[in-house]
Chains A and B, each alone.
Chain A
Amino acid sequence: MAKTETIIKETEETTEKIIEINNLSKSFADLDVLKNLSLNLYKGENLVVLGKSGSGKSVLIKCIVSLLQPDQGTIHVLGKNVVNLNRKELAAMREKIGFLFQSGALYDSMTIKQNLEFPLQRIKKNLTKKEMNEKIEEVLENVGLTDTLHKMPSELSGGMRKRASLARTIIVDPLIMLYDEPTTGLDPVTSDGISELINEVQEKYKTSSIIITHDIECARATADRIIMLQDGEVYMEGDIDDFENSTDEMITSFFKQQVHQGQKKIKKNG
């Protein structure tokens, strides 16, 4: 709670828009996924995006990095319209963005170490070998995977793979982070660790992040602001309290289960 207040103060001072999306529409064949969606990501904030499965959250962030071409609308990242960039400019922009894939997308044919070296060698070209190894050690420690350095992705568990790909995303210290369900499929303890890590990354590198999640605990821990997507539009926007106190049926049904868990936890503690 205290955290939210300080960040809001900060963003009020510097309401620089890192990502500005206006009237974004995207459809596949006859399925309209995003309809006229507008949203902003301000400097240094963690924006949590909630929404039912299939509501177009992954499509939204794929449009931001131009993996999908929007049908209509503009997406400005750091002041530049992504849709109009040529390949060189696009590559330069993508170097500043970290993208955590929902499926992890670790390179199967490489060890975890090689997976982590891959973006590092291409984006941070002026690091020495020693500095790279230190960096790799550091991020693996952050996600709690120090002993998997020479393992192949197929030898890891699902949650470990997720954490390894998180490590691969944060290793290049991106300005903007796009997390697609960072805690899905993880146990509560690890989830909490990941949420903490997201906050740490935010504080340490002053990253601005979009966090897509179903996990209310993660949203509670990381969110400065929350947006709920429904039928391709922004259904509701606010901070965590707005959502928890909401009487809207959609919102309460989303929060209901997790609120109970939260209460239990509080009871145990108190």
Chain B
Amino acid sequence: MVKIRVPVKKIIPKLPDLSKHVIKLSEKTLKETQKANAFFLEAGNFFLFLFSATREAFSRQFEFKEFLRQCYQIGNKTLPLISVTGLIMGLVLTIQSRPVLADFGAVSMLPGMVALSIIREMGPVITALICAGKIGSGMGAELGSMKVTEQIDAMEVSATNPMRFLVVTRVLAATLMIPILVLYADALGIMGSWAGANIKGSVSFTLFISQAFRVVDFMDFLPAVIKTFFFGATIGLIGTYKGYTAGKGTESVGRAANSAVVMASLLVIIIDLIAVQVTDMLL
């Protein structure tokens, strides 16, 4: 760490009153500088991590078994949670939008509108946030504790690249599984919406679906699916990065898990914003 000495007194020796303020200000700047320093250091570290993970991802020996195990675990861990949230998401959206549409006499628009917002936005983002919480923290804690108890070192000395075995498999598993989970959540959301539409009045399922997909077309679908791959990769990368770079001692495991969730959730939202802008420009 570079320590910056600020020769305040030499600059303005004759103004004692003012110098106090200057000292305060410079202390603050110093702290800010250090914060910025730490930020750039972290960012640099992350890109190094990303670089070596990418390099390992293209190496010839792929840990296929571990990859499958991770895929299974991601699905297994999040499925109940995503089922419940998906259903409720559709249900609630329908119940909430109905009165507004009824005011305009446009209740027939309901299925299409709800399906559109689920497929474009609610499904991907809510699923990704749930996964950031569940999977991101899980990876952070697991790799963090492996780091602390020297298991990662042990892997390395038994001539296994931990980057390849632990990181690449998890990141790829998240990248593959989260889009699938999102599609599942979308489907359940539309089911929930149908259930919601049936609370007041009755619509057959086929009618509901055909009404929905009169509005939704392929170009609503594609960008939404593409961005979920980015969500998945981000969650996997942040989770493994935080775990892999955990410090020493057990408290750093908790910190790794915690900051993995915070960072991953934040990045999901930011990526969503970027994706929306890009789609808007292109279409």
Q: Do B149 and A103 touch (CB < 8 A)?
A: yes
Cα distance A103–B153 in the bound complex, in angstroms: 11
Instruction: Say yes or no: is B154 at the interface (Cβ < 8 Å to chain A).
Output: yes
Chain A to chain B contacts (Cβ below 8 Å), 5 pairs: A67-B153, A103-B150, A108-B145, A118-B160, A123-B158
A89 to chain B, nearest CB (A): 11
Other than A62-B153, A103-B150, A119-B158, give 14 A-B pairs with Cβ distance below 8 A: A67-B153, A91-B159, A94-B156, A95-B159, A99-B157, A101-B153, A105-B149, A105-B154, A107-B154, A108-B146, A108-B151, A119-B160, A123-B159, A172-B158
Q: Do B149 and A108 touch (CB < 8 A)?
A: yes
B243 to chain A, nearest CB (A): 13
Cα distance A82–B251 in the bound complex, in angstroms: 33
- Which A residues form the contact surface with B (CB < 8 A)? 62, 65, 67, 87, 91-92, 94-95, 97, 99, 101, 103, 105-109, 118-119, 122-123, 172
Q: Do B150 and A122 touch (CB < 8 A)?
A: no
Which residue on chain B has the smallest CB distance to residue A118? B158
Instruction: Say yes or no: is B220 at the interface (Cβ < 8 Å to chain A).
Output: no
Interface size class of B (residues with CB under 8 A): 10 to 19
B67 to chain A, nearest CB (A): 15
Which residue on chain A has the smallest CB distance to residue B145? A108
Q: Per a CB cutoff under 8 Å, which of B142, B154, B156, B157 touches A109?
A: B142
With a cutoff of 8 Å between Cβ atoms, the chain B residues found around residue A91 in the complex are: 159, 161
Which residue on chain B has the smallest CB distance to residue A95? B159
Q: Do B154 and A99 touch (CB < 8 A)?
A: yes
Q: Do A105 and B151 touch (CB < 8 A)?
A: yes
Q: Per a CB cutoff under 8 Å, which of B150, B155, B157 touches A97?
A: B157
B66 to chain A, nearest CB (A): 10
Q: Do B157 and A94 touch (CB < 8 A)?
A: yes
Which residue on chain A has the smallest CB distance to residue B154? A105
Cα distance A123–B146 in the bound complex, in angstroms: 21
A77 to chain B, nearest CB (A): 12
Which residue on chain B has the smallest CB distance to residue A91? B159
A222 to chain B, nearest CB (A): 21
Q: Do B142 and A122 touch (CB < 8 A)?
A: no
With a cutoff of 8 Å between Cβ atoms, the chain A residues found around residue B149 in the complex are: 103, 105, 108
Closest 10 CB pairs of A and B: A105-B154, A119-B158, A105-B150, A99-B157, A91-B159, A95-B159, A94-B159, A105-B151, A65-B157, A101-B150
Interface residue ranges of B82-118 to A (CB < 8 Å): none
With a cutoff of 8 Å between Cβ atoms, the chain A residues found around residue B156 in the complex are: 67, 94
Cα distance A269–B145 in the bound complex, in angstroms: 47
Which residue on chain B has the smallest CB distance to residue A96? B159
Interface residue ranges of B105-158 to A (CB < 8 Å): 142, 145-146, 149-151, 153-158
